[in-house]
Amino acid sequence: MKNKPNIILINCDDLGWGDPGCYGHPLHATPHIDRLAEEGVRFTDFYMASPVCSPSRGAMMTGCYPARIGFSEFEGKWVLFPGQPVGLNPEEQTIAGLLKEAGYATKLIGKWHCGDQSEFLPTAHGFDEFYGLPYSNDMARQAGLEHQWPPLPLMRNGEVVEQQPDQRSITSRYVEESVRYLRDHRDGPFFLYFAHMHVHLPHYVPERFVAESKNGVYGAAVANIDWATGVLLAELKDLGIDEDTIVIFTSDNGSRNDFGASNGPLRGTKGTTWEGGQRVPCIVRRPGTVPAGRTCSEIATAMDFLPTFAQIAGVSPRTERPIDGKDILPLMLAEPEAQSPHEAFFYHHRNRLEAVRTRRWKLHVRKDDSEMLELYDLIADPGETTDVAAAEPAVVAELSALLDGFRTELGDTATGAPGSGCRPIGRVPVGRPLTEYDPTHPYFMAEYDLADRG
């Protein structure tokens, strides 16, 4: 068995907590994702650091709350858009950069969304190779848009190789690229970050999955993800590296709860700091090392991947730039009596601090521009249906003190706290889109015909 195992991180886009079959969806057939859970550890209380994609992905890559790396908002926008002059600061250490230092080959296949200028692309952040989309699949020329974005770029490393690609083919192209990568790097160690296009709008899915779906085109997109997972697992077995590879499956934020999506019993949706916005599926599998069929209800976050992967690879994160993630390897290994290393988890909505959770309790103090004070027992009431703030004043006081400490460290625009531990976002003098529309160009689709976006 290798001292430095391979790592495959599968990150879906907008997949809700309740969307995989192993998390309870009654209509989604996800045999390969369910197999991950049967053969590994399924987390029930796993969080992304933001309810929208750019901040959550930046946080996952760096092990930091978005506010710490200047990634809570982007020139007033929730997420990054084509041609913006801001992105993930090259001074930040990423998972890929850290693993590269440990001797890993590193590749991103799929969606990046941490900046589309050359200084911010994956190859500037520790990835040897990149094949995929620099941002969301709806940031394209698309029916119904009053303001048209530039043609959607499919990229290889720093170059655009196709514009307005056939989105129905993208997942299969990602899978083919992944299989080739696994075969070329079977001797490892490697880090493959597979970042799905699905289930972000618009839903372009191969007809085979649409025809078989019991939940419309959304269920078809989930099935497309499951198929891709199955191909990767089969390839690992065929190459004889199954036991040498950790596979992690998760999502960048909760679902929109439309088109048949599900956050299970959780309240709220993508874009909110209710549980449905940030609590997501997470499954960890490594045959022979990670115990099979276990469930973990301890608090864990995507920010924990960086220090945990560092522990796995036998390296240490840089100390000059503090991070917020913790080593959760004991939880992944289902060690007896292992507990979450987090005293608390904090929920930001853009630059506003809105809630905090300890193991049992979650206190909400704001939603958008409105103050509130609501306390929920997430063990007894994961759906956040019954406010118990009046009955638990001591708990409210304890969690309020935690919020005050967090504001001092990472700020809160709602109270005017600047945050002493915040670092700047990356910035270039002028941002330029990667593509420009040319009416004479032979695009596969000069304008996507579905108007859905989000």
Active site residues: 53, 113
In degrees, rounded to 5, the angle at the alpha carbon of residue 56 between the alpha carbons of residues 51 and 57 is 145
The answer to whether the beta carbons of residues 375 and 395 sit under 8 Å apart is yes
Rounded to an integer, what distance in angstroms lies between the CA atom of residue 449 and that of residue 166?
11
Residues in the chain: 454
Q: What are the backbone angles phi and psi of residue 83, rounded to the nearest 5°?
A: 80, 5
Give long-range contacts, CB 8 A cutoff, 24+ apart: 338-346: 338/298, 339/298, 340/298, 340/299, 340/300, 341/304, 342/299, 342/300, 342/301, 343/402, 344/399, 344/402, 344/406, 345/47, 345/299, 345/301, 346/65, 346/402, 346/403, 346/406, 346/410
Instruction: Supply 393's token pair.
Output: 């004043």
Amino acid at 105: A
For residue 55, give the amino acid letter. P
- Kind plus residue range of the DSSP H or E element containing 124: none
Q: Give the span between the Cα atoms of 358 and 340, in whole angstroms.
A: 10
Residue with tokens 């001074």: 91
Phi, psi dihedral angles at 374 (to 5 degrees): -135, 135
Among all chains, which residue has been given the structure tokens 């579905």? 450
Element (DSSP H or E) covering residue 108: strand 105-110
Q: How is residue 420 annotated by DSSP? A: T
Q: How far apart are CA 264 and CA 23, in angstroms?
A: 8
How many CB atoms are located within 10 Å of the residue 332 CB? 27
| Residues pairing with 280 in the sheet | 46
